[in-house]
Amino acid sequence: MSGLLALLDDVAAIAKVAAASLDDIAAQATKAGTKAAALVIDDAAVTPQYTHGFEASRELPIVWRIAKGSIRNKLLILLPAGLLLSAFLPSMITPLLMLGGSYLCFEGAEKVLHKFLKHDESHDEADHEVSDPAHLEEEKIAGAIKTDFILSAEIMTVALAAIPESNIWMEATVLASVGVGITVLVYGGVAIIVKADDLGLLMAARGKFAPARKLGRWIVKVMPTFMNLLTLVGTVAMLWVGGSIIIHGLEVLGFGWLGHLIHEWAVAVGHLVPKMTGFIEWSVTALLDGIFGIALGAAIIPLATKVIAPLWAKVAKLRG
């Protein structure tokens, strides 16, 4: 009997350790995921555009295929690569973060410039009309998965940098949790977004009660504005996160003067509003990080479009 009680005590102890480990994993995954929250917003803002122009019946299948590609990107490529970096080349994490941050600044600045420059979409529409829908769908999905790979790489790197030093199994479990959780969050949200107007039309046309029909009409009316707002938030998030990643990376590499200067300015402005000092300091820091991000992104655009893009096109042509 005493042996059985001792065994039960051991089982209870193991269960407590396992529960504590699960709590630790959940806490670390939540913290790491929070660090990548702005990137998640951008990912959710970018993806719905890949369903534009297709029949309503194809929207959810397209989202599902992109989501599966995203899971493969995160779990089969980026997670092992991140663990190898953490184990053998941890010094490369900051430079890679900065590279990803530079890409975010470039993307954000390009979106801002695109917004203010005229763009003739007639050729794009013509291409959509003459292209085979199935072939066009494959191209769109392939392009979305490539874009997702870049954003996922940044998400996973940010998450990896946020995980306290631990064993490889803990890091793998946390990264996998972040990858799966963020993918479900992003593409679940995207699925809701792309079908919201259809739901609104259905409610407006077939709702049994006047409030339901009114809500349906409101959903249809507000969705274009919501999509524009989501795109704006995603762009702002890219510039803010990209700029802050670069500035923090410079501090890690020993070039902290810009970060210190921004901090001093934020503190000085924060002291002007004693009752809201913390919020004001954060807001000023985020604003200055974003301004730095758009300036850096604008400086990168000529390099990316005139040098990197043509070289990449030649490499892709050689591979083909």
Q: Which tops the pLDDT comparison, 54 or 238? A: 238
Q: Check: CB of residue 55 under 8 Å from CB of residue 195.
A: no
Pick from 45, 251, 73, 65: which is nearest to 154 by CA?
73
Instruction: Over range 169-180, report the average pLDDT.
Output: 82
Exposure letters 205-236 (e unless 16+ CB within 10 A, then b): eeeeeeeeeebbeebbeebeeebeebbeebbb
Name the more confident of 51 and 180: 180
Distance CA 33, CA 121 (A): 36
Verdict on whether the full-model pTM lies above 0.75: no
> Per-residue pLDDT for 38 more than 80?
no
Residue given tokens 């959940």 in the structure block:
26
Of 121, 105, 124, 96, nearest to 304 (Cα)? 105
Distance between CA atoms of 301 and 239, rounded to whole angstroms? 14
pLDDT surpassing 70 at residue 41 = no
pLDDT band at 10 (very low <50, low <70, confident <90, very high): very low
Task: Mean pLDDT check: name the lowest of 37-51, 86-100, 182-196, 245-259.
Answer: 37-51
Give the list of residues 6+ apart from residue 160 with CB closer than 8 angstroms, or none: 32, 82, 85, 86, 93, 171, 175
Shortest CA distance to 183 belongs to which of 205, 222, 202, 156?
A: 156
CA-based nearest residue to 153, from 73, 236, 69, 35: 73
**Among 138, 150, 128, 149, which Cα is nearest to 62's?**
138
Domain boundaries, the chain: 21-319
**Residue 318: pLDDT over 70:** yes
- pLDDT value at 26 more than 80: no
Between 245 and 170, where is the model more confident? Answer: 245
Please give the average per-residue pLDDT across 271-297, as a whole number.
91
Per-residue model confidence as pLDDT tens digits over 76-130? 998 898 888 888 888 888 888 888 888 888 888 988 888 777 554 444 444 444 4
Q: How far is CA 8 from CA 1, 20, 22, 44, 88, in A?
A: 11, 18, 21, 48, 41
Percent of the chain with pLDDT over 90: 14
pLDDT in tens, 204-256: 888 778 888 888 889 888 888 887 887 788 788 888 888 988 999 999 899 99
The predicted structure's pLDDT at residue 295: 95
146-149: list long-range contacts, CB under 8 Å, 24+ apart: 147/46, 148/43, 148/47, 148/66, 148/69, 148/70, 148/73, 149/73, 149/77, 149/78
What's the chain's average pLDDT?
Answer: 78
247 contact partners, CB below 8 Å, separation of at least 6: 258, 259, 262, 289, 292
